[in-house]
Structure 1
């Protein structure tokens, strides 16, 4: 490894895993980063990971925490294990990229944020990669430039069929609310962070959260009881811009749509997949017109992804590029989703939960 390269260890590198879908392709595609090690749960899975990725693999976290060639620890395991691994990595003096959600609740996230603040020479970020979408960043700039005038109201919708289709048996743990990986924490979390980069901080006016399908269907044919929500609806206020938001695991297919209505037109972001993955479409319809102008991403945006636009790791690569820049220079050209950002998002989701639980 050259002295200019930053070594990365990915914790949670099983074969059927988000790390293999997005993180490892992003790391290996970027100049200046080198995948040094992967960490799995067992010696057997470590051997398989080493063969697949052609890199050193271990099931012992201390092996990477003690490795001076590892600069960045990427935490991609299940959410309940995030806190212990992130705490160990920060204590070991490593930079950290932790998948979203950062923690299972606000107090746990706040504790990690305080620990992060005690290591000012290290960079710790959360995997809210959607904010690096070139279409989203172009939309934010166009909105700030007055392309649709003054924003008035907005409608946000994220549909996925995850609550209706059979899922792999090893994903059955997602049916438990305590796992903190459901429609609110994952899909609303990612999307509301993206919306916040466009409209700013949100205030919750009303919310509802429920399970429309109280069973979790797995590919073995079993129907398992679930207590995690599969639908969320919220009324949000962004400094006077009222947003009606719906997040559903009982949609007919994957789709995303954000429409922002302004005094001079309508801006629309849409996708046929989860919005944080990338490949969005950005359109503007001027006031009084039926013709939509398709806006392409600006070509001067920092941290352009080396991965194709349709790759699930497209935005993840941009997030890693920004992290590497911050490590090398002490700052990034695009605001990073650091642990303070994560706590604020955890707090917003907690307010939505409380409002939903106390609603008549």
Structure 2
């Protein structure tokens, strides 16, 4: 008779927020222990949202065992070990700090906060609770092709780096009749395309190179200054007087900036939600003295590598299909050639966080890493507000992992 498999200890997850990010985070928690051999079984214990009926509907759809309508109640529950924050940026600091001080591990969506001041408070809370794990949610690090790119750069395949080019292009705000959502209000979102998209490519630039940015020079702009108020909203809700049902857009629509790394490598960044026809095009290229790498999120199972040491007659970028068992994260998935998708980055994020909890080791990206991204975002805004002057950044040591 076959002996029953001993159950693994549960890690109780409590999630605050249940919209788009809540859905993909839920997918990650549901799937991680099915794909990978983990020391804990994540248990979707409770999901929190202010509207009782909506959060109950979300719980049933996403697989959560119970609901709360106040995050303060969530973080006091004994059956919650880890708090996952998927709310707008204006609430990140308050929830994360309270959760850490209540003895919970924390995962917080990017950008870490709406200001350097709040991000620093969050990093300080993580530091004064050394037994608690605090991770910033930059999921694109967990795309296997980008993890492979980091490995190739670390192994010296590109040699000394010269250029890092990154662009994150979307088009969902092209229509001027698109309503004034919370993402277009500074008091809720902190910034616009810069924080929403730019934070991802800032993190990836520092992750891939292993260096913090040393300074930036920037431009930002707002293409559509006023938008229709959402149905049922008032001018007060939009934060400014309304004319003909319009409210003020108080964040950037696009950001362009350049940067320099301590090693001397140069970087360029573009983040926009006005690139007509581009749905989720995160593109990057890294050039080094010995070779180059390119990646496009819309072809996320592929990495293109140029080996500058190859004979001229054989030179050129070659396509690496990142689906082999020894590629990052692929040990948990399908046979070679069977590609992964966007949602798998959140599964990998959950896997790495659960392992960090078991190891008692701070994860990457940590809240300190999230704070560093916040510093860059602030420097971009400062440069743009001062006619694109160069803004130096404080020295910061990225985590080895």
Asked if these proteins are the same fold (TM beyond 0.5), I'd say yes
Q: How many residues are aligned here? A: 349
TM-aligned CA deviation for residue 167 of structure 1: 8.3
Give the gaps of 5 or more residues in structure 2.
1-5, 34-40, 232-243, 389-401
Residue number among 7, 10, 28 corresponding to 1:26 in the alignment: 28
Q: Which residue of 2 aligns with 1:291?
A: 316
CA distance in 2: counterparts of 1:97 and 1:215, whole angstroms: 34
Query: What's the offset of the Cα at 1:46?
Result: 2.8
Cα shift at 1:346: 0.6
Distance apart, 1:153 and its partner CA: 1.8
CA RMSD in angstroms comes to 2.7
Aligned pair partner of 1:174 in 172, 183, 198 = 183
Contact 1:132 1:318 in 2 (8 A): yes
Structure 1 residues 311 and 10: alpha-carbon distance in aligned structure 2, compared to 1, 3 A threshold: farther
CA spacing shift, 1:309–1:115, aligned 2, 3 Å: farther
- 1:64-106, CA deviations, whole angstroms, 9 ceiling, x for partnerless residues? 2232221111111111111221122112111111111221101
**Partner deviation per Cα, 1:12-50 (whole Å, 9 max, x = no partner):** 12xx43211x11011011222111111111222233233
- Match of 2:181, SS state, is helix
- Aligned partner of 2:221 in structure 1 is 210
Among 346, 357, 360, which residue is 2:374 paired with?
346
Match of 2:140 among 108, 118, 130: 130
* Aligned residue in 2 for 1:317: 347
In the alignment, structure 1 residue 76 sits paired with structure 2 residue 86: yes
Counterpart pick for 2:384 among 331, 356, 360: 356
**C-alpha separation between the residues in 1 aligned to 2:228 and 2:307?**
45
1:242 Cα shift?
0.8
Question: For 1:300-327, what per-residue CA distance to the aligned partner results, in whole angstroms no more than 9, with x for missing partners?
Answer: 4665566995543311221111111111
- The aligned counterpart of 2:163 is 153
- State the 1:347 CA deviation: 0.8
Closer/same/farther in 2, CA of residues 264 and 18 from structure 1, 3 Å limit: same
1: distance between equivalents of 2:295 and 2:199? 17
Contact kept in structure 2, 1:211 and 1:231, CA below 8 Å: yes
The separation in 2 between residues aligned to 1:168 and 1:209, in whole angstroms, is: 20
Q: Secondary structure at the match of 2:111?
A: coil
Give the stretch that moved more between structures: 229-238 or 284-293: 284-293
Match of 2:396 in 1: none
Is 1:101 the equivalent of 2:125?
Answer: no
What secondary structure is seen at the aligned counterpart in 2 of 1:148?
A: coil
Q: Is the 8 A contact 1:98 1:126 kept in 2?
A: yes
**Structure 1 CA distance for aligned equivalents of residues 206 and 303 of structure 2:** 17
Q: Distance in 2 between matches of 1:25 and 1:74?
A: 13
In structure 2, the CA distance between the partners of 1:272 and 1:3, relative to structure 1 (3 Å rule), is: closer
Contact kept? 2:164, 2:205, Cα under 8 Å = no
Deviations 1:338-359 (A, max 9, x none): 1111111111111111111111
TM-score of the two chains, using structure 1 as the length reference: 0.87
Match of 2:10 among 5, 17, 37: 5
Correspondence 1:242 to 2:266 = yes
Maintained 8 Å contact 2:119/2:370 = yes
Q: Which residue matches 2:360?
A: 330
Distance 1:36 1:175, change over 3 A: same
**C-alpha spacing 1:117/1:205, structure 2 compared with 1 (3 Å):** closer
**TM-score (normalised: structure 2):** 0.79
**1:263 is matched with which residue?**
289
Cα distance between partner residues in 2 of 1:323 and 1:139? 21
- Which residue does the alignment assign to 1:276? none
Contact residue 16 and residue 84 of structure 2 kept, 8 A: yes
Q: Which range is displaced more, 105-114 or 145-154? A: 145-154
The runs of 5 or more residues in structure 1 that have no matched partner are 274-278
SS at match of 1:272: helix
- Single out whichever of 157-166 and 344-353 deviates more from structure 2: 157-166
Could you tell me how far apart the structure 2 residues matched to 1:132 and 1:155 are?
19
- Counterpart Cα distance in 2 of 1:296 and 1:116: 38
Name the CA distance, whole Å, in 1 between partners of 2:106 and 2:298. Answer: 31
Task: Tell me how far apart the structure 1 counterparts of residues 358 and 205 of structure 2 sit (CA, whole Å).
Answer: 29
Q: Give the Å deviation of 1:6.
A: 0.6
